[in-house]
Amino acid sequence: MRALGLDVGSKTIGVAVADPSGTIATARSVLARRGHAADAAAIAELARSEAADAVVVGLPLELDGSEGHRARLVLRFVAVLRAVLKDMPGPVTLHTWDERFSTAAAERTLLEADLSRARRKQHVDAVAAQFILQGWLEARRRGGAPGAALAPGGELA
């Protein structure tokens, strides 16, 4: 399974990619936001070039698990991305995944790697996307139903 993981922020989108076996997620890049339509087109192109059959979007839920303002903004982007992915030549499933604490975990990892503040800022979104995607991959490997561990909104394919 080849999958992309996304950490969608207001200014950037962090991107991670899974290895072909669907075991390990790797931070890939950070895209500058240019609007939902342009961002969705860029993600679709990445999915095409990586031969991805799944895209996992981090959903920034509130601490109590509810959908707040930030989650609703991400879900608006997910709706646009879903429409673009439906036009892909092969099937690409779209999933949301609870991303609470992914950026904090990414920051800790980059601090432990002793990166400067400027370098951390350049990479934190891609590393957060890596944490999101790795969590989703591990939940799939545990054998639970794919929708069982997904955040509200669940599988969107």
Please give the chain's pLDDT, 157 residues, in tens: 799 999 999 899 999 999 999 999 999 999 999 999 999 999 999 999 999 999 999 998 877 878 888 889 999 999 999 999 998 888 899 999 888 655 655 556 645 655 556 655 555 688 889 989 998 998 888 875 354 333 334 444 3
Strands (E), the chain: 3-8, 12-18, 25-32, 54-59, 93-98
First to last CA, the chain: 16
Does residue 146 belong to any structural domain of this protein?
no
Does residue 152 belong to any structural domain of this protein?
no
Does residue 147 belong to any structural domain of this protein?
no
Does residue 99 belong to any structural domain of this protein?
yes
Does residue 108 belong to any structural domain of this protein?
yes
d(CA 16, CA 63): 24
Cβ neighbourhood burial of 15 (10 Å; 0-12, 13-18, 19+) = buried
Domain that holds residue 46: 3-141
Does residue 155 belong to any structural domain of this protein?
no
Does residue 154 belong to any structural domain of this protein?
no
Looking at the 3D structure of the chain, how many domains does it have?
1
Question: CATH number for the domain including 23?
Answer: 3.30.420.140
Does residue 156 belong to any structural domain of this protein?
no
Q: What is the CA radius of gyration of the chain?
A: 14
